[in-house]
Structure 1
Amino acid sequence: MKKLFKIIAYLEGISYLCLFFNMFVIKNMNLVLYKQILFPLGMAHGLLFVLYVVMAIFLAIELKWSLKKALLILVASILPFGTFYSEKNWVEQMK
């Protein structure tokens, strides 16, 4: 289950960064591409975000994480690069 969580964490982080890139770079360049990829990219990120949160909750229960650690991992999902950091430094080091 940790391996699946690792994959979801990386995909969620990548989709988050792609969404930011679309919002800040492509939109400001006034490209039509912005509107074409906004919905599919947003939908993919939304699904991956929900999967990340659900998997984090299941792992917190399965691995008996402290409430503080579980909340830190959940908060990391709303920060850019947060899922990469949390997966590498908190989840990877656990049994």
Structure 2
Amino acid sequence: MDIKTASAVHRLRLISFPEALSFPALLIFGSLLSRLTDIDFLMKPLGILHGILFVIYGIFLLDVWNRAKWPVKRVAFFFLLAVLPFGGLYGEKLLKQEEQDAVIASRARREGTVNAA
């Protein structure tokens, strides 16, 4: 994995955490708040914030797909994780492991301990 691919995975990992929390934390909290109180003005900004985070996640996912040459099943899996409440937290964990593996492989190639395949 080259540096541009690793940075694309890193960006996806960074956005997956706030996107994962935006659906349950913001939208469900805002929905409950609007039903239990007269505070309705929060739903629109919270929905917009969640939508922006979701679109950014989708763009970053497409960038990783393009750079890392992931199979369609893997991209669909990460997209599904973004749709599920708190699913992005699991995706963030997987991406962190992949990012660490890429750094280890890069260092090994640089030191010449592993043959480039």
Q: Classify the TM-score, shorter chain.
A: 0.7 to 0.9
Q: Which of these residues, 15, 27, 37, is aligned with residue 19 of structure 1?
A: 27
Question: Structure 2: which 5+ residue stretches go unaligned?
Answer: 1-7, 103-117
The corresponding residue for 2:82 is 77
- The answer on 1:64 being equivalent to 2:69 is yes
Aligned residues: 91
TM-score after normalising by structure 1: 0.84
- After superposition, give the CA deviation of every residue in 1:3-59 in whole Å (9 maximum; x if it has no partner): 322221111112112111222x21332x122x1110110001001101101101110
- The answer on 1:93 being equivalent to 2:109 is no
Question: Structure 1: which 5+ residue stretches go unaligned?
Answer: none
Q: CA RMSD in A?
A: 1.4
- The answer on 1:37 being equivalent to 2:45 is no
The question of whether the paired residues in 1 share the 8 Å contact of 2:20 and 2:86 is answered with yes
The question of whether the paired residues in 1 share the 8 Å contact of 2:34 and 2:43 is answered with no
What is the alpha-carbon distance in structure 1 between the residues aligned to residue 23 and residue 74 of structure 2?
A: 22
The question of whether the paired residues in 1 share the 8 Å contact of 2:20 and 2:87 is answered with yes
- Structure 1 runs of 4+ with >4 Å offset: none
The question of whether the paired residues in 1 share the 8 Å contact of 2:82 and 2:88 is answered with yes
Q: Which of these residues, 2, 5, 11, is aligned with residue 12 of structure 2?
A: 5
